[in-house]
Amino acid sequence: PADTPDPSQARARSAPAPITDVAKLCVCDLLVAQCDVNCCCDPDCSADDFSLFTTCSVPVVTGDSQLCSQKAAVYSLDVEANPPERIFKLIDQVNPSIFCIHAANYKQALYLKSPEIPTPENFDRLLDKFGGATFNAEPDSWNLDPDAQNPPDANETYRYEYGAPVQTEEAFLRLPSPVVSSWCSDANPAGFLVNQATKCIRSVSVENCDSIQALSMLFYINSSILASVFQVNITVQSIVVQSLDGMRTLLSTSDVLRLPMVLDGLCINAVLGVNYHITHTDTGEIIEAAAAFVLGAISKEALSIEQSFEISFTQENTQPVPLSGNPGYVVGLPVRAGFWPQGYPFPAGFSSNKHSQLTILQSTSTQDCLAAQGARAPVLFGYNMISGCKLRITAAMKCQPLAQTLLDVLKGQSFPEYVASFGNSQAQDVLDWVPITQLHISEQMISNTLQSSCQIPVSLGIEVKWTKYGSLVNPQARIVNVTATITTTTLKQLPSGRERIIPVTSSVVFTDISSPAEPSYKAWPTINIKLPFDFFYPFV
Amino acid sequence: NNSSQLSSLPLQILLYVNGVYYIFYFLATLAMIIYKSQVFSYPDDFLAPDLAVLFLMAILEVPRLYLGFKGNLTEAEAPLGLSLGLTVGSVVLCVYLLLWQTYVLWADVLLNAVLLSAYGLESGLKVTAIAAFVS
């Protein structure tokens, strides 16, 4: 009884020895005790099976080709013979290079490393190392031991380069993200100047939600970033509270730290999203860090929640405006638009910010025009879009306010006046901006339209004409003309009690008006040879 | 009087050629070790002994050749005997580089075989020269 555990333990401790005999190795032998088709090295195949093959899928099996001489098993089919038979040859393959390996005394160099087999003794150590969701090849370089780390000098400036992990007192600024599966891993460091947005799932339980660190605001702001000279604390920029049905409210005071707690069977103040904004100088020093939170409530039935994280970097004293192309527009990026500020006679340039984008009405699930206030989608270059809603007209509605409301619904709060012709047009280059031409079309041309009939807008069509500009091999898209056409129709007075539903549509169409390209060639070089005038001196 | 000259001319030639060949051998072996460390997996525990042996052999070679020249030209057997002793050490290191290096390439085999044969021939000539000087 004392002997029997030992042989099994000894067997379990080492993995089976790898097969190195080339005559016995067969990569295409996948079916056990059956013949694989076109596998000439399969030992389960008989001579009858070989006669049915067409080629050999594995023609040669060799060891490491860098050795000077090694055994090779060569399989081929002799199709001349009747029936076709398999030829198996064991040859010595010679590497003619003078730098071939004659002998290698380091055995592991030529073979893959065999993994450790878990035994009762090393199981805990292996579980520690490999049991988590992630493990990397150099475990010591990432886990900075706080005791071993020497604190930075007061004069040491922390300059970050692109992609370098943003360091904090303990380790790195964390941006939880999904690694292998969708579950959040807290070991993802944020890279400097790398704008990231991640979404991942975290498992929660409402009973002990105040003890889960990742649900509390403190977890995300209690570390201070190491920057030049002093450390930068992460401030709370804003807090948005999301209710269970998805409605978000911005809190007016954001300096009170709201920690998760259990209330009425719900866990409130749980972090659903964090948005980091880091401000840096142009030499790579971080000067400010702020975090905007989205807090929400978790109900009892929820076993997991989705958290979203984002980090963005801005240079100080700049207001970044994302380009839509450089220089031509890129398909899928928003069309940039702006206003001509009221200045006389030469204002400084266009004002183009987020609120003056070219947008169209976005269809909602209720399809009610009057309830769709505010939902707009940006116009993306190259994407023709159409959207709409339904308007229910009752007899009690007055014409003028209805027309104005519909115009607001179609055009939005601030319809821009100019559109950038290139994706990277600067606000101060006045000639790079194209004015939007506004047209009004009346649907019903009745001769006596000048009567007090009511015209309400029912359709907005934006047509963007663009052309290819620049070189033949790399044409850039350039917007040449933008026309916004409002179509109005007459609203007939309804008898009281009746109501009518009319559809309201808005559309964007991109038309390519490039003229066909004319390749132009450079002129052939002419050879102008003129001898100096006294070349034939003294004969002439 | 030429007939009473005991210095061995073949030994002198061989020592000279050995010196020139050794410089080439050292540079070539060092270059190949660098090549091997880039192309193959060459951990530091295996790289250190190989480099140590190569540099030790270079350090031994200088006094060995000097003593050989001096002993042969002054027809003294003591320096020649010392040189013979150092040759034994060099032979051992050369055999290590030929057989027990981490990676022995075909070029390594050629270089070390030529060096080993030169050492062998030299030892034989030195023994003959010592015998001639002593008697």
Same domain? For A313 and A328 the reply is no
Q: Which residues of chain B have a CB within 8 Å of the CB of A100?
A: 105-106
Give A105 to chain B, closest Cα distance, Å: 5
The answer to whether A521 contacts chain B (CB < 8 Å) is: no
CB–CB of A105 and B104 under 8 A?
yes
> Which residue, among A97, A428, A53, A452, has the nearest Cα to B110 in the 3D structure?
A97
The whole-number pLDDT of residue A446 equals 52
Half-sphere exposure of A241 (CA within 13 A, CB side): 14
Cα nearest neighbour of A111 on chain B: B41
DSSP A437-459: EEEEEES---TTTTTT-EEEEEE
| Structural domains counted in chain A | 3
Exposed / middle / buried, residue A390 (Cβ in 10 Å: 0-12, 13-18, 19+) = middle
In a domain, A9, yes or no: no
Nearest to B108 among A97, A102, A108 (CB): A102
Band of residue B87 on the pLDDT scale cut at 50, 70, 90: very high
Final residue of a structural domain among A109, A129, A155:
A109
DSSP secondary structure letter of residue B3: G
The whole-number pLDDT of residue A471 equals 83
Contacts for A172 with CB less than 8 Å, ≥ 6 apart: A165, A166, A189, A190
Is the Cα dihedral A204, A205, A207, A211 positive or negative? negative
Is residue A369 within 8 A of residue A504, CB to CB? The reply is: yes
Same domain? For A279 and A177 the reply is yes
Same domain? For A311 and A327 the reply is no
Rounded-to-integer distance, Cα B93 and Cα B54, Å? 8
The whole-number pLDDT of residue B28 equals 96
The whole-number pLDDT of residue A352 equals 54
CB–CB of B105 and A106 under 8 A?
no
Same domain? For A287 and A347 the reply is no
In a domain, A100, yes or no: yes
Rounded-to-integer distance, Cα A507 and Cα A407, Å? 14
Model confidence over B89-108: pLDDT tens digits? 999 999 999 999 999 999 99
Give B111 to chain A, closest Cα distance, Å: 11
In a domain, A339, yes or no: yes
Q: What are phi and psi of A28, to 5 degrees?
A: -90, 0
Contacts for A279 with CB less than 8 Å, ≥ 6 apart: A286, A287, A288, A289, A313, A314, A315, A316
Q: Judge whether residue B41 has pLDDT over 70.
A: yes
Residue ranges of chain A with pLDDT lower than 50?
A: 1-11, 139-155, 343-348, 447, 451
CB–CB of B32 and A102 under 8 A?
no
Give A95 to chain B, closest Cα distance, Å: 10
CB–CB of B105 and A105 under 8 A?
no
The whole-number pLDDT of residue A170 equals 77
Mean pLDDT of chain B: 93
Is residue A182 within 8 A of residue A210, CB to CB? The reply is: no
* Long-range CB pairs of A119-128, under 8 A, 24+ apart, other chains included: A119/A9, A119/A12, A119/A13
CB atoms within 10 A of CB A387: 18
The answer to whether A107 contacts chain B (CB < 8 Å) is: no
> Which residue, among A116, A205, A207, A224, has the nearest Cα to A166 in the 3D structure?
A224
In a domain, A531, yes or no: no
In a domain, A147, yes or no: no
Question: Mutation test of the interface with chain A: which of B35, B106, B110, choosing the one with the most A Cβ atoms within 10 A?
Answer: B106
Question: Would you put residue A163 in left (φ > 0), alpha (ψ -120 to 50) or beta?
Answer: left
The whole-number pLDDT of residue A1 equals 43
Residue A91 CA: distances (Å) to CA of A22, A27, A259, B105 = 10, 19, 74, 22
The answer to whether A32 contacts chain B (CB < 8 Å) is: no
Average pLDDT over residues B60-87: 94
Give A211 to chain B, closest Cα distance, Å: 47
The distance in angstroms from the start CA to the end CA of chain B is 19
CB–CB of A99 and B35 under 8 A?
yes
Same domain? For A200 and A335 the reply is no
CB–CB of A68 and B106 under 8 A?
yes
Write the single-letter amino acid at A172.
F
Same domain? For A466 and A341 the reply is yes
Q: Which residues of chain B have a CB within 8 Å of the CB of A104?
A: 102-104
Question: Mutation test of the interface with chain A: which of B36, B41, B46, B105, choosing the one with the most A Cβ atoms within 10 A?
Answer: B105
Give B105 to chain A, closest Cα distance, Å: 4
Q: Judge whether residue B15 has pLDDT over 90.
A: yes
Exposed / middle / buried, residue B32 (Cβ in 10 Å: 0-12, 13-18, 19+) = middle
CB–CB of A106 and B108 under 8 A?
no
Same domain? For A489 and A355 the reply is yes
Host domain of residue A472: 323-512
Q: Which residues of chain A have a CB within 8 Å of the CB of B34?
A: none
Q: What are phi and psi of A227, to 5 degrees?
A: -130, -170
CB–CB of B101 and A99 under 8 A?
no
Same domain? For A181 and A198 the reply is yes
Write the single-letter amino acid at A251.
L
Same domain? For A311 and A251 the reply is yes
Contacts for A532 with CB less than 8 Å, ≥ 6 apart: none
Final residue of a structural domain among A45, A77, A109:
A109
Does the pTM exceed 0.90? Answer: no
In a domain, A418, yes or no: yes
Same domain? For A370 and A351 the reply is yes
In a domain, A452, yes or no: yes
Same domain? For A420 and A495 the reply is yes
Final residue of a structural domain among A320, A347, A379:
A320
Same domain? For A394 and A478 the reply is yes
Nearest to B106 among A99, A106, A108 (CB): A99
In a domain, A89, yes or no: yes
Is the Cα dihedral A520, A524, A526, A527 positive or negative? positive
Cα nearest neighbour of B37 on chain A: A109
CB–CB of A109 and B106 under 8 A?
no
Rounded-to-integer distance, Cα A39 and Cα A86, Å? 10
Cα nearest neighbour of A67 on chain B: B105
CB–CB of B106 and A97 under 8 A?
yes
Task: Collect all residues from B whose CB is shorter than 8 A from any CB in A.
Answer: 32, 35, 40-43, 46, 99-110
The answer to whether A250 contacts chain B (CB < 8 Å) is: no
Model confidence over B46-61: pLDDT tens digits? 999 999 999 999 999 9
Is residue A389 within 8 A of residue A363, CB to CB? The reply is: yes
Question: Mutation test of the interface with chain B: which of A64, A66, A69, A101, choosing the one with the most B Cβ atoms within 10 A?
Answer: A101
